[in-house]
Amino acid sequence: MSVVNSSVAPLPSVLSTPLKAVNSVKEAFSPMHNTQVATIEQALEAIRKGELVIVMDNEDRENEGDLIAAAEFATEERLAFMVRHSTGIVCVPIPEQRTMELRLPAMVDDNTEAHKCKFTITVDLREGNTTGVSAADRARTIRALADPSISHDAYNRPGHIFPLKAKEGGVIARAGHTEAAVDLARLAGCRPAGYICEINDDNGKMLRRADLHKFAAEHKLHLITISDMIRYRVCHETLLHPLNTSNFKAMETPFGSWKLFQYDALVCELEIDLLVLGSVEKASKVPVFIAAGEALSTTVDMQWAQKHIMSSSKLGVIIYMRKTANLIEVSGAFMGGQSIFGLAMQAVKQLDVQSVRLMTRTPYPFDTEGFGVCIDGTEEFPKCL
């Protein structure tokens, strides 16, 4: 996704994808139609029991599945299973605050890893461990990293466990397995720390989507996607801070007087300006146009959206999503786009509409269902614009 400081781009066109690719991705990651994927509730129940779950990301990112469980429940048996079916590199995602408590500096000063995974120096728990590399030793170290009562001086450095510093804001702020592990543990009511490992086959090749489904069925493990985790958080958590819901600002335009509501995201630096025309409360098929960018610019698309809303229904919503560049950089266009769209839908939900109709230049590259707002179709811009 390319964000230009001097313009506002409609979200779908910024994330433009060939239609054939759009349809294949939607089929693979649709929360409504993929019956092989477990629900987030099922995964959370498994996490509470200390069980392993499989979390899959998108093909435009790492395109892999990780075994994930809550760190506080790590056992020798589960570590042995994890190592047997993975790369053997076991990582422990923890919040930034925990890395500070444990005095864990970054592994390198200049992080050139493709997705900027924040590895810290490696550790082993001293007490009770031998070499630190056995399944039993690694399980003890993992449990200790999740235990706030165990301090920094309880570890040898370097070691055989790889702590990872999770980004504040979880999968909304960075759609990675690191953040997914911490989010799952937190949402399950466990200490916010997980242990993860990338799944591969007997020849050392990473398992992709089709093989991950087979692996999950064979070992009776729940498989979920980070896309569905984003949707779950959008629907179940308050992710926005309203700046002026009681005293909205009036914005005069050539296409009518609009009410301006403003929000800050609580989970990332994103800012939202919500322009509302007319009384949309309890209304159905409310036209909604989403733009991603850094400034309120009068682009052709913006003017068309305002003119169309004013002339056709005299009610509608235009959403400006600002400071989106970093989110797209760390999550990728497909996953970052879902976070942006989800935050936009949470803002729309505050208007208490019955349903919305999305106005777009090109088809959305992801399924727009499951974000807490009823989507009653889309309307593409005229091809001549």
User: What is the DSSP code string of 100-134?
Assistant: HHTT--BS-SS---TT---BB--EEE-TT-SSS-S
Residues 262 and 199 in one domain: no
180 falls within a domain: yes
Residues 195 and 264 in one domain: no
Q: Could you tell me the two tokens for 335?
A: 């996953």
Virtual torsion, Cα 239, 106, 60, 167, nearest 10 deg: 0
Residues 130 and 61 in one domain: yes
Residues 209 and 71 in one domain: yes
Count of residues making up the chain: 385
Residues 180 and 279 in one domain: no
11 falls within a domain: no
CATH number at residue 332: 3.40.50.10990
User: pLDDT per position in the chain (385 positions), as tens?
Assistant: 333 333 445 554 444 443 344 444 454 444 434 446 899 999 999 999 999 999 998 755 556 899 999 999 999 999 999 999 999 999 999 999 999 999 999 999 998 887 789 999 999 999 999 999 999 999 999 999 999 999 999 999 999 999 999 999 999 999 999 999 999 999 999 999 999 999 999 998 999 999 999 999 999 999 999 999 999 999 999 999 999 766 678 888 888 889 999 999 999 999 999 999 999 999 999 999 998 866 554 466 777 888 888 888 889 999 989 899 889 989 988 999 999 999 999 999 999 999 999 998 788 999 999 999 999 999 887 654 4
Alpha-carbon span 287 to 232, nearest angstrom:
24
What's residue 11's pLDDT? 57
- Domain final residue, candidates 161, 195, 221: 221
CA angle 112, 114, 118 (to 5 degrees): 65
Residues 279 and 310 in one domain: yes
Residues 275 and 217 in one domain: no
Q: Read out DSSP for 233-260?
A: HHHHS--EEESSSSSPEEEEETTEEEEE
Tell me if residue 86 falls in helix, strand or coil.
strand
Residues 122 and 214 in one domain: yes
Residues 62 and 187 in one domain: yes
What's residue 299's pLDDT? 63
Residues 120 and 159 in one domain: yes
205: which DSSP letter? P
Cβ–Cβ < 8 Å for 222, 53: yes
Residues 100 and 214 in one domain: yes
195 falls within a domain: yes
Cβ–Cβ < 8 Å for 223, 211: no
Locate the DSSP E strands across the chain: 8-10, 53-56, 65-70, 91-95, 123-125, 155-166, 194-198, 223-225, 240-242, 249-253, 256-265, 271-277, 286-293, 316-322, 356-360, 375-380
Contacts of residue 246, Cβ cutoff 8 Å, sequence gap at least 6: none
pTM for the complete prediction? 0.88
Residue 174 bridge partners (DSSP): none
Residue 196 bridge partners (DSSP): 68, 91
What's residue 123's pLDDT? 98
Residues 270 and 368 in one domain: yes
Query: Could you tell me the residue range of the domain that residue 184 belongs to?
Result: 39-221
What's residue 6's pLDDT? 35
24 falls within a domain: no
What's residue 14's pLDDT? 46
18 falls within a domain: no
